[in-house]
Amino acid sequence: MDSVDIARWQFGITTVYHFFFVPLTIGLSALVAILETAWLRTGKTKYLRATKFWGKLFLINFAMGIVTGIVQEFQFGMNWSDYSRFVGDIFGAPLAIEGLLAFFVESTFLGLWIFGWDRLNAKLHNACIWIVHVGTLLSAYFILSANSWMQHPVGYRIDEESGRAVLTDFWAVLTNSTQLVAFPHTITAAFVTGGMFMAGVSAWHLARRKNTEVFRPSLKLALVVTAIASIGVAITGDFQGKVMTDQQPMKMAAAEALYETEQPASFSVITIGTLDGNEEIFGIKVPRVLSFLATGTFDGEVKGINDVQAAEEARYGPGDYRPNIPIAYWNFRIMVGVGMLTALVSLAGLWLLRRGRLPSNPWVYRIGVLSLALPFIGNSAGWIFTEMGRQPWSVFGVLKTSASVSPGVSPTSMLISVVSLTALYAVLMVIEAGLMLKYAKAGPPSEDEVLPPPPSDDDSDPDAERSLAFAY
């Protein structure tokens, strides 16, 4: 492999690993905030116990997300210096705002939430975790703005002297049409991730009939959020598919392994092609569905790979403008299939929990636990499809990936970096899994642990006053 291939491997490994934590942070922060709000509104101790339990798992995940995310920033200077030099004026702006504003808000109010249990007014303490959740949304928005600019560059010009991209309209970058569909799709997927995580852990405890007063409401909340968010994922994904067809027709053609232009176009349930990905051998298709997904009409035209390749050669010059077709095709199906499966699991779970029931069949809980992995698989497949489907461009239509890599870094140095970071991330994965399993199995704190101490005889004791004020 050359430097470009190795650099892409490194960025792909670290990005996919980091994205395990991002959607869970977003989704779980909202669920923890909802549980604490439920405790404030009802006064029921089970919600306070649930808040403490899920809050601890949220904090572990948040910390690991920070550690793995830092490496992402460094890679732009390590392996992608030509890319950074070309787009730094544009790409750096939303990332800087994310760090200075959104992450600052997250970390500050998360600290207040962690250490303010017996020091802050109850409503103010609850507001802190809601602000943390808003901070995660802001972080996602600014980061996705940068990524969306790579998918559909707007609000810039090329400086003739330096050859660099120069920002001309920051508002255009923030309101990029790609961003306006990518953000809600990513956030709804994050709610699915948080919901299925909570559902899986709750199912594990309920299978053992442990702390049912805490985990049954947790499971019901998780399934409701997952079901609603799954609908949102489907709707926003449909919008995103139509925008993608308009802006990156090759990506849509690759997602369907559609080699020849069709009108109307059929949706491929399964396609088997040649080893080099140049030709279809066998396929099972549903008529007209692809036309609707791509254009919004059942008789719309969808450009095939061969026609798009010819058009892009005419526009950008000689070259191969096709991504890896099998990877794009199968990751698209994994993403869609997982989304449908999570929706089905959540709806089935809500049906089984109706009227206060608690299923007795152990397989119900086993499926619930196994389903915990589904959104992580779907999220990874979605990002792999999004990024690899854009190839050979790092900035679509403007800068190729082959022209983005650091010229002064040798393949050997990059290979050492890949091996080192992959080993480091493997260690972090073991630590993360160990901590999550340890505290997930431990269960929620008891009522005695979460309730404030009895009133003190010394009414002048400020600590007792704060504890009573928080409790009531």
- Please tell me the predicted confidence (pLDDT) of residue 200: 92
Per-residue pLDDT at 455 exceeds 60: no
Q: What is the mean pLDDT of residues 191-212?
A: 91
Asked whether residue 426 is domain-assigned, the answer is yes
Look-up of token digits 């400020």? 462
Of the candidates 17, 4, 135, which has an alpha carbon nearest to the alpha carbon of residue 380? Answer: 17
- Please tell me the predicted confidence (pLDDT) of residue 118: 83
Total tally of structural domains belonging to the chain: 2
Q: What is the mean pLDDT of residues 385-401?
A: 90
- Please tell me the predicted confidence (pLDDT) of residue 293: 75
pLDDT band at 278 (very low <50, low <70, confident <90, very high): low
Query: DSSP secondary structure string, 185-235?
Result: HHHHHHHHHHHHHHHHHHHHHHHTT-SHHHHHHHHHHHHHHHHHHHHHHHH
> Given 301, 322, 343, which residue is the final one in a domain?
322
**Which positions ≥6 away from 146 have C-beta within 8 Å?**
91, 94, 95
Q: What is the mean pLDDT of residues 265-283?
A: 66
Residues 39 and 135 in one domain: yes
Distance, in Å, from the CA atom of 165 to the CA atom of 403, rounded to the nearest integer, reads 14
Per-residue pLDDT at 466 exceeds 50: no
Per-residue pLDDT at 467 exceeds 60: no
- Please tell me the predicted confidence (pLDDT) of residue 468: 32
Residues 301 and 392 in one domain: no
Per-residue pLDDT at 457 exceeds 70: no
Q: What is the mean pLDDT of residues 160-182?
A: 89
Per-residue pLDDT at 275 exceeds 70: no
Average pLDDT taken over every residue of the chain: 85
Asked whether residue 41 is domain-assigned, the answer is yes
Per-residue pLDDT reduced to its tens digit, 132-155: 999 999 989 998 998 999 999 998
Q: What is the mean pLDDT of residues 269-297?
A: 70
Beta bridge partners of 158: 165
**Which positions ≥6 away from 100 have C-beta within 8 Å?**
none
Residues 268 and 347 in one domain: no
Of the candidates 389, 402, 381, which has an alpha carbon nearest to the alpha carbon of residue 7? Answer: 402
Per-residue pLDDT reduced to its tens digit, 58-84: 999 888 887 777 777 777 778 888 888
Look-up of token digits 């069949």? 361
Cα 450 to Cα 113, 156, 399, 435, 470, distances in angstroms: 15, 54, 56, 22, 12
Tokens of 134: 């808003």
Which of the residue ranges 182-196, 228-242, 286-300, 381-395 would you say has the lowest mean pLDDT? Answer: 286-300
Asked whether residue 105 is domain-assigned, the answer is yes
pLDDT band at 274 (very low <50, low <70, confident <90, very high): low
Per-residue pLDDT at 350 exceeds 80: yes
Residues 201 and 226 in one domain: yes
Beta bridge partners of 270: 284
Query: What 3-state class would DSSP assign to 157?
Result: strand
Residues 317 and 329 in one domain: no
Residues 222 and 78 in one domain: yes
Asked whether residue 421 is domain-assigned, the answer is yes
pLDDT band at 342 (very low <50, low <70, confident <90, very high): very high
pTM, full prediction: 0.87
Residue 400 sits at φ, ψ, to 5 deg, of: -80, 155
| 263 within 8 A of 243, measured Cβ to Cβ | no
Asked whether residue 431 is domain-assigned, the answer is yes
Distance, in Å, from the CA atom of 108 to the CA atom of 104, rounded to the nearest integer, reads 6
- Please tell me the predicted confidence (pLDDT) of residue 29: 93
- Please tell me the predicted confidence (pLDDT) of residue 382: 92
Residues 272 and 331 in one domain: no
Residues 261 and 406 in one domain: no
- Domain housing 278: 249-322
Q: What is the mean pLDDT of residues 386-392?
A: 90
Query: DSSP secondary structure string, 339-355?
Result: HHHHHHHHHHHHHHTGG
> Given 276, 296, 322, which residue is the final one in a domain?
322
Residues 292 and 333 in one domain: no
Residues 202 and 262 in one domain: no
**Which positions ≥6 away from 57 have C-beta within 8 Å?**
28, 201, 436, 439, 440
Residue 443 sits at φ, ψ, to 5 deg, of: 85, 180
Asked whether residue 206 is domain-assigned, the answer is yes
Asked whether residue 419 is domain-assigned, the answer is yes
If phi over 0 gives left and psi between -120 and 50 gives alpha, with beta otherwise, what is residue 287? Answer: beta
| 66 within 8 A of 110, measured Cβ to Cβ | no
Asked whether residue 445 is domain-assigned, the answer is no
- Please tell me the predicted confidence (pLDDT) of residue 18: 85
Contacts 24+ apart (CB under 8 A), 110-118: 110/59, 110/62, 113/55, 114/59, 117/470, 118/452, 118/463, 118/466, 118/467, 118/470
Greater pLDDT, 62 or 472: 62
Distance, in Å, from the CA atom of 426 to the CA atom of 228, rounded to the nearest integer, reads 34
Residues 15 and 155 in one domain: yes
> Given 288, 322, 356, which residue is the final one in a domain?
322
Distance, in Å, from the CA atom of 53 to the CA atom of 61, rounded to the nearest integer, reads 13
Cα 357 to Cα 206, 212, 214, 244, 409, distances in angstroms: 12, 12, 15, 44, 61
Q: What's the burial of 378, exposed, middle or buried (CB within 10 Å: 0-12/13-18/19+)?
A: buried
Residues 310 and 398 in one domain: no
Q: What percent of the chain has pLDDT over 70?
A: 92
